């Protein structure tokens, strides 16, 4: 004993302080006294000689301590080390453990129930608890809810003679021999021969020489794995195995496969999980009231959790998943509905019906006939406007599906009723684009400047339309503000500037928000408030081109009604899309040049560098330089990336739109809604790095004119999954199909970015679970009808979850 204060991680003092703090009542008084005699500056401040004296004295006290179970001194020190290592100083430290003593007293265990720390389990020593900690598993409850990523289906044992090469199968056999073997210079392995009445086979476990000792000759074992072939005979490489018993954990059934960190093998987790299930699963409280469960045919929480880990069969697993998915989605739906009910009740809206003759003349004034889908959505929107409840509708439609006219109709309804309308876009250039479109639709022939007068053929009066962006001069802006407040402007188009400080409306009837996913719920709320100095809440219309699968829309936009423009105007030519291999780059670039020489324009999208925006910008700049110097020295190129200010970006986009550049080289910032009809070709570098939804958004930038457009996807050597994406892009231009596929391949979090989706990481539910989502939606309505505040005792658990969700959503939006 050198008394170097090395035995305990972070030093003995830290440990002593913690046990004094948290465990004082459990300490024998003489042990406590030993701690107390240490100087205030701690054990560390003592000389090695003094340290030894103190330790020897303390050990003597511990040995003599009345509760007989006190372990030999060395053990205590070892235990102390693990304790201190396991528990960061801020957390309560458990008493030192010793073989034989329970880790928690019976009362403690009973009091904590499933909230007991994982090391309360017999099979979890502290060292293991540390590893669980890294997975975010602190309590037994956390552990029970650590669901497997998947299950390996090894099925019931089959005779050795019936094994089929290439399949995952199980045999139950006896060990004929098992020995350690040396492979090459370094590798040691276990090699075993096993057999049953029908034949024999070999098993090899690489790098696990110790298994040999666990396989005594004649032991009966069960082995599961993929069957490979060795000289015409079946063979298992690194199979799962265990001694035969009636309760198999690793083989011969649906075996759970967990998400893991290093040092936490599946075998260990399975064993620990079995103990946790046996001891604790019945203690989980069920947040779903029994009446609801019964009505909906959902199994209880304990069964569900148990079956998630060790399902009896596929059907049982599905029933468990269904129940847990429901439980996960219900609070989300309730939150969304609450939000919606709240604002609908908070203030009524003024009905603003559009009269039949105005509607007819509005449609007649358009340069085209509405598509069937546009007619349907328009009907929904005008219908909402008629009600004394504020409209809250999401209009979803693929790029180019013609959402803008629908927005225009809602604005027209407001104006017919003598009220104002506003249309908000995420960028200046898009706001300008809308301004131009509205000027056309409302008959502002040739008006210039930020505020124009229009004489729509479908209304009996003139009106004024304004553009308000951050780039406007202060004086102009103040003028527009004043005019808006006095009601001298009927329609305002703009960016965020519209919801900033000084802006007040005289009487806002409808607010349109374009490209929804750039705006959070809070911004929507701010916009709504702008109109509410009159006691009415404005109607709100949200538009997005992001093709959100219906199931996802129901969940994320549970607070909105959803209409879909699922048809493109006639005569659009689908963009011809081709995946181009690396060695065809030159010919792709030649094609771009031909298009430009034919008077068209081109986009070049640079590969995504996910690690950092700086790198992203760097690579885009390099690509721009390369193209400008080596490939297209005679053409006019522009560069666009995320590190440029909004003003710079807008200037670049404007030059490109006005035909002052031939090729726009851009990072992924180009994604949202810009319309350059003369652009006919898009070349996407590193196309394998982008998701389907994003590729589709890019592609939507071309093909907006009447002529044939092209999209070239450059990918060097795509992996299997990326290859599938590229092929799908070639095959279809249906945004919804692509979005569904994208979500299936990457999960909803990736699809939207967890942040934007506002979805807490879903553990069990899949957004392809249409039925369950609809069921939760329906149930949420029913629940809030019956108990609007969720105050009844059987709804307490749900209430808590909803409150947590609301808090987390609000956090994210600030
Ligand atoms: P998005 O849904 O992407 O916002 P827009 O509203 O910008 O689409 O419409 C894209 C183009 O299609 C516009 O030039 C618009 O004038 C045109 N358009 C919209 N509806 C129709 C239609 N029914 N028939 C023909 N062209 C249409
Ligand atoms: Mg649009």
Task: With residue 193 as reference, give the H or E element that holds it.
Answer: strand 187-196
Question: Which residue bears the tokens 């876009």?
Answer: 425
Average of pLDDT values for 463-477? 86
Average of pLDDT values for 150-173? 88
Q: How far is the CA of 403 from the centre of ligand 1 (A)?
A: 7
pLDDT tier, 516 (very low <50, low <70, confident <90, very high otherwise): low
User: Rounded CA gap, 372 and 377, in Å?
Assistant: 9
pLDDT tier, 547 (very low <50, low <70, confident <90, very high otherwise): low
Burial class of 287 by CB neighbour count within 10 A (0 to 12, 13 to 18, 19+): middle
Tokens of 798: 């749900």
Q: Where are the alpha helices (DSSP H) in 113-211?
A: 126-134, 140-144
Average of pLDDT values for 33-39? 72
pLDDT at 96 over 60: no
Q: How far is the CA of 458 from the centre of ligand 2 (A)?
A: 23
Q: Ligand nearest 405 Cα, by number?
A: 1
Q: Identify the residue with better confidence: 779 or 5.
A: 779
pLDDT at 378 over 90: yes
pLDDT at 25 over 60: no
Residues contacting 774, CB < 8 A, separation 6+: 554
User: Rounded CA gap, 543 and 717, in Å?
Assistant: 37
pLDDT at 332 over 60: yes
Average of pLDDT values for 110-123? 87
Contact between 812 and 758 under an 8 Å Cβ cutoff? The reply is yes
Collapsed DSSP state (helix, strand, coil) of residue 209: helix
Q: How far is the CA of 516 from the centre of ligand 2 (A)?
A: 11
pLDDT at 254: 85
Pocket test for ligand 1, best of 543, 569, 573 (most atoms within 8 A of CB): 569
Q: Identify the residue with better confidence: 743 or 590.
A: 590
Q: Which atom of ligand 1 is nearest to the CA of 404?
A: 6
* Start-to-end Cα distance in the chain: 56
Contact between 459 and 412 under an 8 Å Cβ cutoff? The reply is yes
Nearest-CA residue for atom 23 of ligand 1:
370
Q: Ligand nearest 368 Cα, by number?
A: 1
> Considering the chain, what percentage of its residues have pLDDT values greater than 90?
36
pLDDT tier, 737 (very low <50, low <70, confident <90, very high otherwise): confident
pLDDT at 778 over 50: yes
Average of pLDDT values for 609-614? 67
Average of pLDDT values for 311-324? 92
pLDDT at 326 over 60: yes
- pLDDT tens, 565-580? 988 888 778 889 999 9
Q: Which atom of ligand 1 is nearest to the CA of 371?
A: 23
Q: Where are the alpha helices (DSSP H) in 753-795?
A: 754-757, 770-786
User: Rounded CA gap, 309 and 273, in Å?
Assistant: 8
pLDDT tier, 556 (very low <50, low <70, confident <90, very high otherwise): low
pLDDT at 110 over 90: no
User: Rounded CA gap, 63 and 80, in Å?
Assistant: 15
Nearest alpha-carbon partner for 644 in 444, 428, 434: 428
Contact between 663 and 601 under an 8 Å Cβ cutoff? The reply is yes
User: Rounded CA gap, 318 and 300, in Å?
Assistant: 14
Among 365-374, 540-549, 744-753, name the one with the lowest average pLDDT: 744-753
Nearest-CA residue for atom 24 of ligand 1:
569
Contact between 388 and 351 under an 8 Å Cβ cutoff? The reply is yes
User: Rounded CA gap, 376 and 598, in Å?
Assistant: 39
CA angle 387, 391, 392 (to 5 degrees): 155
pTM of the model: 0.61
pLDDT at 720: 79
Burial class of 450 by CB neighbour count within 10 A (0 to 12, 13 to 18, 19+): middle
Q: What is the greatest pairwise CA distance in the chain?
A: 102
Residues contacting 76, CB < 8 A, separation 6+: 59, 62, 70, 96, 98
Collapsed DSSP state (helix, strand, coil) of residue 708: coil
Helices and strands, number each (H, E), in the chain: 27, 22
pLDDT at 28: 62
Task: Report the residue count for the chain.
Answer: 814
Average of pLDDT values for 23-35? 62
Q: How far is the CA of 514 from the centre of ligand 2 (A)?
A: 7
Q: Identify the residue with better confidence: 646 or 694.
A: 694
Residues with CB under 6 A from ligand 1: 368-371, 374, 397, 399-405, 545, 569
pLDDT at 197: 87
pLDDT at 760: 55
pLDDT at 433 over 70: yes
- pLDDT tens, 637-670? 999 987 887 778 878 988 998 999 999 999 877 7
pLDDT at 475 over 60: yes
User: Rounded CA gap, 403 and 502, in Å?
Assistant: 29
Q: How far is the CA of 400 from the centre of ligand 1 (A)?
A: 5
What angle, 0 to 180 degrees and rounded to 10, lies between the N-to-C axes of helices 126-134 and 73-86? 10
User: Rounded CA gap, 697 and 368, in Å?
Assistant: 25
pLDDT at 336: 80
Residues contacting 227, CB < 8 A, separation 6+: 163, 164, 165, 166, 167, 168, 169, 234, 235, 236
Q: Which atom of ligand 1 is nearest to the CA of 571?
A: 25
Contact between 383 and 546 under an 8 Å Cβ cutoff? The reply is no
Nearest alpha-carbon partner for 39 in 16, 5, 63: 16
Q: Ligand nearest 704 Cα, by number?
A: 1
- pLDDT tens, 484-508? 999 999 999 998 777 666 788 899 9
Mark 66-89 as b/e (b = at least 16 C-beta within 10 Å).
eeeebbebeebbebbbbbbebbee
Residues contacting 584, CB < 8 A, separation 6+: none
Q: How far is the CA of 362 from the centre of ligand 1 (A)?
A: 15
User: Rounded CA gap, 676 and 367, in Å?
Assistant: 19
Tokens of 471: 């780039």
Nearest alpha-carbon partner for 256 in 282, 280, 224: 224
Burial class of 729 by CB neighbour count within 10 A (0 to 12, 13 to 18, 19+): buried
Nearest-CA residue for atom 22 of ligand 1:
569
pLDDT at 22: 45
- pLDDT tens, 224-281? 999 999 888 899 999 999 888 877 888 877 889 887 766 788 888 999 999 999 999 9
Among 300-304, 428-432, 587-591, name the one with the lowest average pLDDT: 428-432
pLDDT at 636 over 90: yes
Q: Ligand nearest 395 Cα, by number?
A: 1
Pocket test for ligand 1, best of 394, 395, 404 (most atoms within 8 A of CB): 404
Q: Identify the residue with better confidence: 550 or 114.
A: 114
- HSE (CB half, 13 Å, CA atoms) of 207? 1
What DSSP letter does each residue of 501-570 carry, written as one string?
TT---SSEEEEEEESGGGS-HHHHHHHHHHTTTSSSPPEEEEEE-S---HHHHHHHTTTSEEEEE--PPT
Nearest-CA residue for atom 17 of ligand 1:
402
Q: Within its chain, how far is the Cα of 631 from the centroid?
A: 40
- pLDDT tens, 166-216? 888 899 999 999 999 887 777 899 999 998 888 889 999 998 899 999 999
Q: How far is the CA of 773 from the centre of ligand 1 (A)?
A: 32
Pocket test for ligand 1, best of 400, 408, 431, 702 (most atoms within 8 A of CB): 400
Nearest-CA residue for atom 9 of ligand 1:
402
pLDDT at 812: 42
Q: Within its chain, how far is the Cα of 701 from the centroid?
A: 26
Q: Ligand nearest 701 Cα, by number?
A: 1
The whole-chain average pLDDT of the chain stands at 81
Pocket test for ligand 1, best of 402, 407, 547, 675 (most atoms within 8 A of CB): 402
pLDDT tier, 15 (very low <50, low <70, confident <90, very high otherwise): low
pLDDT at 414 over 90: yes
Q: How far is CA 400 from CA 114, 196, 431, 432, 542, in A?
A: 54, 67, 16, 17, 16
pLDDT at 47 over 80: no
Among 179-188, 239-248, 422-431, 672-681, name the one with the lowest average pLDDT: 672-681
pLDDT at 92: 38
Average of pLDDT values for 751-761? 47
Contact between 601 and 678 under an 8 Å Cβ cutoff? The reply is yes
Pairing of strands 539-544, 508-514: parallel
Among 41-45, 305-309, 431-435, name the one with the lowest average pLDDT: 41-45
């Amino acid at each position: 004993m050198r008394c170097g204060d090395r035995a305990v991680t972070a030093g003995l003092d830290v440990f002593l302080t913690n046990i004094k703090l948290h465990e004082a009542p459990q300490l024998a008084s003489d042990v406590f006294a030993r701690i107390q005699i240490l100087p205030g500056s701690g054990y560390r401040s003592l000389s090695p000689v003094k340290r030894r004296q103190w330790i020897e004295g303390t050990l003597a006290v511990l040995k003599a301590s009345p509760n007989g179970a006190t372990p030999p001194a060395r053990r205590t020190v070892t235990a102390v080390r693990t304790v201190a290592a396991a528990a960061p100083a801020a957390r309560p430290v458990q008493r030192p453990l010793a073989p034989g003593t329970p880790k928690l007293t019976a009362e403690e265990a009973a009091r904590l129930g499933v909230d007991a720390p994982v090391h309360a389990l017999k099979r979890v020593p502290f060292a293991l608890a540390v590893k669980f900690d890294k997975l975010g598993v602190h309590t037994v409850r956390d552990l029970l809810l650590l669901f497997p990523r998947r299950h390996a289906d090894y099925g019931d044992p089959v005779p050795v003679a019936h094994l089929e090469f290439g399949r995952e199968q199980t045999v139950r056999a006896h060990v004929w021999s098992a020995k350690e073997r040396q492979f090459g210079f370094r590798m040691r392995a276990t090699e075993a021969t096993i057999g049953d009445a029908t034949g024999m086979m070999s098993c090899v476990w690489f790098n696990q020489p110790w298994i040999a000792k666990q396989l005594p000759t004649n032991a009966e074992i069960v082995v599961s794995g993929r069957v490979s072939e060795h000289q015409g005979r079946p063979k298992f490489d690194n199979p799962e195995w265990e001694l035969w018993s009636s309760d198999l954990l690793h083989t011969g059934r649906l075996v759970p496969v967990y998400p893991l960190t290093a040092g936490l093998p599946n075998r260990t987790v399975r064993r620990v999980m079995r103990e946790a299930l046996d001891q604790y699963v019945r203690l989980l409280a069920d947040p779903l009231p029994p009446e609801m469960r019964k009505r909906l045919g959902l199994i209880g929480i304990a069964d569900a959790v148990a079956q998630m880990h060790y399902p009896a069969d596929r059907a049982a697993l599905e029933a468990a998943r269904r129940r847990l998915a429901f439980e996960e989605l219900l609070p989300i739906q309730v939150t969304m509905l609450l939000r919606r009910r709240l604002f609908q009740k908070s203030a009524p809206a003024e009905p603003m019906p559009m009269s039949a003759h105005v509607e007819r003349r509005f449609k007649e004034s358009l340069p085209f006939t509405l598509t069937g889908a546009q007619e349907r959505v328009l009907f929904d929107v005008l219908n909402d406007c008629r009600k004394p409840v504020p409209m809250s509708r999401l209009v979803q439609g693929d790029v180019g599906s013609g959402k803008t006219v629908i927005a225009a109709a809602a604005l027209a309804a407001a104006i017919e009723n003598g009220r104002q309308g506003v249309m908000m876009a995420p960028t200046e250039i898009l706001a300008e684009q809308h301004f131009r479109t509205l000027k056309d639709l409302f008959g502002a022939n040739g008006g210039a400047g930020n505020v124009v007068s229009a004489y729509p053929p479908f209304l009996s009066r003139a009106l004024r339309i304004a553009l308000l962006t951050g780039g406007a001069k202060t004086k102009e802006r103040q003028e527009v503000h004043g005019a808006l407040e006095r009601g001298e402007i009927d329609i305002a188009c703009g960016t965020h500037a519209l919801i900033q400080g000084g802006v007040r409306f005289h009487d806002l009837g409808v607010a349109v928000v374009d490209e929804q996913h750039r705006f959070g719920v809070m911004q929507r709320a701010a916009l709504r408030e702008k109109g509410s100095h009159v006691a009415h809440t404005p109607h709100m219309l949200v538009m997005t081109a992001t093709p959100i699968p219906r199931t996802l829309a129901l969940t994320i936009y549970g607070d909105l009604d959803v209409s879909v423009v699922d048809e493109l105007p006639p005569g659009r030519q689908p963009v011809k899309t081709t995946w181009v291999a690396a060695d065809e780059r030159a010919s792709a670039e030649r094609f771009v040049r031909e298009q430009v020489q034919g008077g068209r324009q081109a986009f070049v999208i640079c590969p995504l560098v996910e690690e950092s925006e700086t790198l992203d910008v760097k690579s885009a700049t390099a690509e721009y330089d390369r193209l400008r110097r080596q490939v297209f020295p005679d053409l006019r190129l522009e560069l666009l990336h995320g590190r440029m200010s909004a003003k710079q970006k807008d200037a670049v986009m404007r030059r490109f739109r006005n035909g002052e550049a031939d090729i726009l080289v851009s990072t992924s910032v180009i994604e949202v809604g810009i319309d350059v009809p003369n652009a006919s070709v898009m070349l996407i570098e590193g196309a394998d790095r982008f998701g389907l939804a994003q590729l589709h958004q890019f592609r939507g930038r071309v093909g907006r004119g009447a002529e044939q457009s092209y999209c070239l996807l450059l990918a060097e050597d795509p992996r299997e999954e990326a290859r599938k994406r590229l092929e799908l892009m070639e095959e279809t231009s249906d945004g919804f199909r692509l979005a569904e596929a994208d979500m299936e391949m990457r999960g909803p979090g990736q699809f939207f970015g967890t942040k934007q989706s506002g979805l807490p990481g879903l553990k069990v539910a899949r957004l392809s679970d249409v039925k369950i989502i609809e069921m939760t939606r329906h149930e949420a309505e029913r629940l809030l009808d019956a108990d609007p505040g969720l105050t009844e005792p059987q709804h307490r658990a749900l209430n808590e979850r909803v409150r947590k969700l609301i808090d987390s959503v609000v956090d994210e939006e600030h």
